[in-house]
Copies of this chain bind each other. A is one copy, B any other.
Amino acid sequence: MGLREIKMGRTRRQIADHAFALFVAQGFESTTIEQIATAAEVGTRTLYRYYPTKESLIVDFVESSLGAAAEELRSQPDEMPLPRALYTMIDTVLRVTNEDTERVLAVYRLADQAPSVQARLAEQALRWRIEVAGEVSRRIGGGEDAELVAALTAANVMNIIDITMRTWVMSGGARNPDVISEQILRVLHEGVPIPTASVASFN
């Protein structure tokens, strides 16, 4: 790795750190790109080369976490049972979370006060849902309802991650994310209500 990339990496982190500091201090909307650029000692044009949108200053952090999780899923051997492979994915996200709790907390708190950030986060989850669905589809093969099963399974996984994170954030970071996700998995295995047309089958 050359000096060039090292410097770029440093610049990138500089920008994100100053952005977070300012966002937390003054709020997302009332912080301008120019303020961030000035604080990070770069031109606004340079900032935009690293982070294409204002929201990405916050959301890229989660993006990399989800990216690592999806990569983890793909890297599991095909012989591994799907439920186990899916679990490794959740585990990866939680590991990243445990490594930088403060930043993750800040992300979700900022999302709560800035609709555009919330929107980008939600879109991100959707994109990864589709990504994961593709991998699940590949693993279960192309049976009858394969596409739908894959889509539903992927959606489930993203829900588990999302609800775990939100529950954790709601506790102010006090509870343990791993414990929460275990609880969620237990509840899921016990079964949750599923919509039914007729009154007959309850759950």
Interface size class of A (residues with CB under 8 A): 35 or more
How many copies of this chain does one complex carry? 2
User: How far does the alpha carbon of A126 sit from the alpha carbon of B163 in the complex, in Å?
Assistant: 11
Q: Given A118-B123, A122-B126, do A145 and B187 touch, yes or no (CB 8 Å)? A: yes
Q: Interface on chain A toward B: helix, strand, loop, or mixed SS?
A: helix
Interface residues of A in 163-203 (CB under 8 A from B): 163, 166-167, 182-189, 192-199, 201-203
Q: Which of B83, B167, B198 contacts A195 (CB 8 A)?
A: B83
User: How far does the alpha carbon of A115 sit from the alpha carbon of B124 in the complex, in Å?
Assistant: 10
Is the C-beta of A68 less than 8 angstroms from some C-beta in chain B? no
Interface residues of A in 134-181 (CB under 8 A from B): 136, 140, 145, 147-149, 151-153, 155-157, 159-160, 162-163, 166-167
User: How far does the alpha carbon of A87 sit from the alpha carbon of B198 in the complex, in Å?
Assistant: 9
Question: How distant is A192 from chain B, measured CB to nearest CB, in Å?
Answer: 5
Question: How distant is A110 from chain B, measured CB to nearest CB, in Å?
Answer: 14
B152, A184: Cβ atoms closer than 8 Å: yes
B149, A192: Cβ atoms closer than 8 Å: yes
What residues make up the interface of A, taking CB atoms closer than 8 Å to B?
A: 81-84, 86-87, 89-90, 115-116, 118-120, 122-123, 125-126, 136, 140, 145, 147-149, 151-153, 155-157, 159-160, 162-163, 166-167, 182-189, 192-199, 201-203
23 contacts across the A-B interface (CB closer than 8 A): A81-B196, A81-B199, A83-B195, A84-B199, A86-B193, A89-B195, A119-B119, A119-B122, A122-B122, A122-B126, A136-B193, A147-B167, A148-B184, A149-B187, A151-B166, A152-B188, A152-B192, A156-B156, A156-B159, A156-B192, A182-B197, A185-B195, A188-B194
